[in-house]
Amino acid sequence: MLETKDLILRQGTANDGHDLYRNLWSRAEVFRYMFNKPSPNEAAGLSRTAAYAEMHKEVSTEFFVCEKASNQVIGIAGIKELNPGHWTITDIAIGPDFQGKGFGKQVVKVLTALAFDSHGATTIAYDCFRQNTASKQLALSCGFIYSHSEPAELQKNGENVTLDYYIRNK
């Protein structure tokens, strides 16, 4: 478990399903610049949450993001090692009702500290769709520096995607 001023990052349980469906999986705008899609109905959202909770049992660096004040699950985030010493922020998403409050920044900062201080990372990468202004600004405001751009292997709604990569050294 990780803690910031306003948030707890913890492993999930199937009980988190209703929060996550309401706050994240049902909100199409969250997925505009992600390869993932919204869940089409609550049943699909609940099984998606259950699958994430199962994955959390295996992967200790993936989390659900909970707002302390409301005790709700409001997002997802994590890190993974790409190759020795080189880590990346994986999908990070905060529900639209909770964006713009500095929560993304708290999440990236605590994950960056986890990678550098507990997992021996020497670099952390962050990538986002080129058009994703909020994500780009989040990376820059957490000390990441633009590295390069690459075409993504996947398409989004039949369109090619350019990914911008940012990097932070220890």
Q: Examine residue 147 and tell whether it contacts ligand COA (CB under 6 A).
A: no
The residues, any chain, with a CB within 8 Å of residue 12's CB and separated by 6 or more, are 20, 49, 52, 53, 56, 63, 64, 73
DSSP line for 109-164: HHHHHIIIIIS--SEEEEEEETT-HHHHHHHHHTT-EEEEEEE-SS-BTTB--EEE
Residue nearest ligand COA by beta-carbon distance: 104
Among the listed ranges 26-34, 44-52, 63-71, 112-120, the one in contact with ligand COA (CB under 6 A) is 26-34
Q: Examine residue 138 and tell whether it contacts ligand COA (CB under 6 A).
A: yes
Q: Examine residue 128 and tell whether it contacts ligand COA (CB under 6 A).
A: yes
Give the dihedral sign, CA 53/88/72/2. positive
Q: Examine residue 26 and tell whether it contacts ligand COA (CB under 6 A).
A: no
Q: Examine residue 103 and tell whether it contacts ligand COA (CB under 6 A).
A: yes
- Binders in 37-96 for ligand COA, by CB under 6 A: 92-94
Please identify which residue in 37, 80, 101, 148 interacts with ligand COA, judged by CB under 6 A: 101
Please identify which residue in 43, 55, 113, 134 interacts with ligand COA, judged by CB under 6 A: 134
Q: Which is nearer to ligand COA, 118 or 141 (CB)?
A: 141
∠ CA 83-49-109, rounded to 5°: 45
Q: Which residues bind ligand COA (CB under 6 A)?
A: 30, 33-34, 92-94, 99-105, 128, 132-135, 137-138, 141
